[in-house]
Amino acid sequence: MKKILLVMLVLAGFCVKANAQFFVSGTAGFQYRDEVFSMKLLPGVGYEISDRWAIGAGLGLSVYDENTRGLANPYVRFNCWNNDQVFLDVKATSELTFGKHYTTAFVGLKPSLRYAVNNHLQLSADFGAFGVDINDGDASPAIGLTLSGIDLTVIYRF
């Protein structure tokens, strides 16, 4: 326990020195694939380590084929390009959907476009995926830029 506390204090000190910033977010995701509509609601928290790097996680619900499941989504975000209002990001993410009878997962990269409304409020859209879908132990590629599955996120920076 003492080691965990020490690591947290060191990280907090580093982040304060680097002018890092906490944020909260809310994501609504929609997808239409294989004639099935699904959606997710995912509140989250995160931390901007620098102007380019952020880490975060969300915990919420996914509705797929009339079944409600839990959803966990940790990620690391890297800002590739920006002009002070528009940001092009890449997220290394893992999305775990867990239910009563089975668990699915996605591991990979997602491109993202963010727009800064002001210093505190940002809007973000993830469009597409480059990674692996894992369903009941079977892995299949998840590759493509598409609007058939999009995540819309509102971010509030403190």
Closest C-alpha among 39, 31, 33 to residue 63? 39
Structure-block tokens of residue 70: 């839990």
pLDDT digits (tens, 9 = 90+) for 48-57: 999 999 999 9
Q: Assess whether pLDDT exceeds 70 at residue 4.
A: no
Assess whether pLDDT exceeds 70 at residue 142.
yes
**Span of 2-6, 87-91, 115-119 with lowest mean pLDDT:** 2-6
Range with lowest mean pLDDT among 21-35, 50-64, 70-84, 85-99:
21-35
Question: What is the number of H-type helices and E-type strands within the chain?
Answer: 1, 10
Q: Which domains does the chain have, with CATH numbers?
A: 20-157 (2.40.160.20)
CA distance 124 to 126: 7
The pTM assigned to this predicted structure is 0.81
Spell out the alpha helix ranges (H) of 27-143: none
